[in-house]
């Protein structure tokens, strides 16, 4: 990944971590997360972060579509911006529902799990893929653009 694009992804993910407009706190949490990854796993933290995002980003999702009074779940491709949003959302949901440790430690664990293609966020992606596979018969209702 080129450096400018990777920094933009990191900045965007930091914005998703941010709550109540406290950006400096979100940046501190991300830095602490990278420190935890470096200290525990002795690996390049940013490479693990980008691999985790790549493993969680969905390529396809189901969207509801109303056709003749019935609502069908239609599988559709996901645009790149939405891929990042969904990946960040699923990773942060998985971290925020866990209890018992500090946020950077939990986030580091989830990122490591996602980089290794396991964990709650990757399971969520697989659930979305299963839904898309189950509803592929309705793909004919997708809008042509």
* Residue 29 structure tokens: 């949490």
Of the CA atoms within 13 Å of residue 48, those in its CB half-sphere come to 21
In the predicted model, is pLDDT for residue 138 greater than 70? Answer: no
Q: How far is the C-alpha of 52 from the C-alpha of 119, rounded, in Å? A: 10
More confident residue, 17 or 138: 17
Task: For the full predicted model, state whether its pTM sits above 0.95.
Answer: no
Query: Structural domains in the chain?
Result: 3-141 (1.10.455.10)
pLDDT-based confidence at residue 1 (cuts at 50, 70, 90)? low
More confident residue, 120 or 134: 120
pLDDT at 145: 44
Q: Mean pLDDT across the chain, nearest whole number?
A: 81
Length of the chain: 145
Mean predicted confidence (pLDDT) in 85-112: 86
């Amino acid at each position: 990944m080129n450096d400018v694009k990777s920094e933009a992804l990191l900045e965007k993910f930091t914005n998703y971590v941010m709550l109540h407009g406290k950006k400096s706190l979100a940046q501190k949490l991300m830095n602490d997360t990278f420190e935890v990854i470096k200290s525990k796993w002795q690996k390049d933290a940013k490479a693990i972060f980008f691999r985790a995002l790549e493993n969680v980003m969905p390529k396809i999702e189901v969207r509801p579509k109303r056709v003749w009074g019935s609502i069908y779940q239609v599988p559709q491709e996901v645009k790149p911006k939405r891929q990042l949003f969904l990946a960040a959302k699923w990773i942060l949901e998985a971290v925020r529902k866990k209890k018992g440790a500090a946020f950077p430690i939990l986030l580091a664990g989830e990122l490591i799990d996602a980089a290794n293609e396991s964990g709650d966020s990757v399971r969520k992606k697989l659930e979305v893929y299963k839904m898309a596979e189950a509803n592929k018969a309705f793909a004919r209702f997708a809008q042509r653009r």
